[in-house]
Amino acid sequence: MAQSTFQRYELKYLMTTGQQQAILAAMEPHMEPDQYSHSSIRNLYLDTPDFRLIRRSLEKPVYKEKLRVRSYGRAGTGDPVFVELKKKFRSVVYKRRISMAQDQALACVAGRAPWPDSQIGRELAYAAAFYETLRPAVFLSYERDSFRGLEDKDFRVTFDRDIRYRCRELTLAHDPWGTSLLPQGWVLMEVKAAGAIPLWMVRALSAQGVFQTSFSKYGTAYRDLLAAGKGGVKYA
């Protein structure tokens, strides 16, 4: 059963596809496509019926966390997925995840099966017990292009497009569809680093007039639900 732990800074930038092309040109001497250069990412964000996790996250506390089930492409009930616990404390992101079959993962979330007996499994079990009524709340998908540094392999840049969410068909086995979170022709860039951003990247972003933002995919989806009067609705 695969387990992973990540600790890093994550910075986000919204930009047009034109600005993206300029950033890609600046990246070319310094970065290369990642091992999985393109992926179709699908997430089931876990929350309580009253959206307790995302409501607290939007209050911008010093510490916040999110839980989700993630697949790369379509995942059937018996296919492996990642259950992730993402924590943020004083701008540092800590991500812990474990791989298991989708039906087992959802059974653990629903309390029908025990979490794996491992460090990450116990952390997930504690979170599930703390929030008590966790269930899939929002399906969120996007297409991602990933790059890594030629010298610093831990320096990563991703570009997400076609970011969509829905509150129906909460399964990773169906094709992505839903409400778009970004206007046509816009992408979300994420910079992931253990330390400072390279100076060449800072200059490239500045030259394009692109500045850091606090954009949250799940948070933006929840705000959409609030605007539509659905932020307190329990979805089946």
- Digit-coded pLDDT (tens) for 104-162: 999 999 999 999 999 999 999 999 999 999 999 999 999 999 999 999 988 999 999 99
- C-alpha separations of 113 from 27, 71, 81, 108, 116 in Å: 46, 20, 16, 5, 9
Domain boundaries, the chain: 3-227
- The C-alpha atoms of residue 158 and residue 56 are separated, in whole angstroms, by 26
| pLDDT tens-digit series, residues 179-230 | 999 999 999 999 999 888 999 999 999 999 999 999 999 999 999 999 988 6
Amino acid at residue number 192 = K
Query: With contact defined as beta carbons under 8 Å apart, do 86 and 95 qualify?
Result: yes
- The C-alpha atoms of residue 176 and residue 53 are separated, in whole angstroms, by 24
Query: With contact defined as beta carbons under 8 Å apart, do 159 and 189 qualify?
Result: yes
pLDDT band at 92 (very low <50, low <70, confident <90, very high): confident
Architecture per CATH, domain 3-227, reads as Alpha-Beta Barrel (3.20)
pTM of the model: 0.91
Q: E-assigned strands of 73-155?
A: 80-89, 92-101, 135-149
Amino acid at residue number 57 = S
Is pLDDT at 82 greater than 70 in this prediction?
yes
Residue 14, both tokens: 């919204």
3-state SS assignment for residue 10? strand
Is pLDDT at 167 greater than 80 in this prediction?
yes
Residue 232, both tokens: 């307190």
pLDDT band at 4 (very low <50, low <70, confident <90, very high): confident
Going by C-beta distance under 8 Å and a sequence separation of 6 or more, which residues neighbour residue 187? Answer: 14, 15, 16, 17, 20, 159, 160, 161
